[in-house]
Amino acid sequence: MYRIEVGQADLAASRFGVAPLLETMSAAGLAAGRVPAGPLRPWAERARPRYRAVADDPAVRALAFLRRRYGYMADFVCPPPARPNLTVAAQLATVRATPLDRARREIARNLDGLPEPDAAVRAVLDAPDMVERLATGLERAWQALLEPDWPVLRSIVEATSPTAPAAWPPTAGRRPSTACPARCAGATG
């Protein structure tokens, strides 16, 4: 038998519930080709034209650039859901409320070890209104990549995840979720 121990930091980093903006960041990274698609290749191929349609926005490209397979990703762009059934609008409000100094620290940590972004992406990340620009980019990426398929994608997450409320024992409380695109390869869109 294996024993897995978690500490306070692990629990603090856990996501409880479905997190639409985490799904959006994952989707942007996949559609932009920033992370290997693996079994999600069919979804990524269907999503690429929708990504290209919004990739003229340097904030959308900045979000895709920040998506990494390994290493730290800025927390403020995909805040953990504060409660179940959180809306995209509520998560975007949380992003927009992020203090600029915190956002800059997280972006600097996220960029560590990555190549220098192109000039337009760097301009977004250095802008005095960077938080608002990234929030608007998240909204555009959400609308293009996930919103059209969200009812199907969300139902897949809720039906197949052991973290879904329907799978919880009556006394279990909330459990962490994982990114939707990883389980939605078969979803149509």
Q: Dihedral, CA atoms, 26, 27, 33, 39, nearest 10 degrees?
A: 90
Q: Give the pLDDT score at 165.
A: 52
Mean pLDDT for the chain overall: 83
Whether 89 has a pLDDT exceeding 70, the answer reads yes
Place of tokens 């990494």: 68
Question: What three-state secondary structure class fits 16?
Answer: strand
pTM: 0.78
Q: What is the pLDDT of residue 182?
A: 39
Task: Give the model confidence (pLDDT) of 114-137 as tens digits.
Answer: 999 999 999 999 999 999 999 999
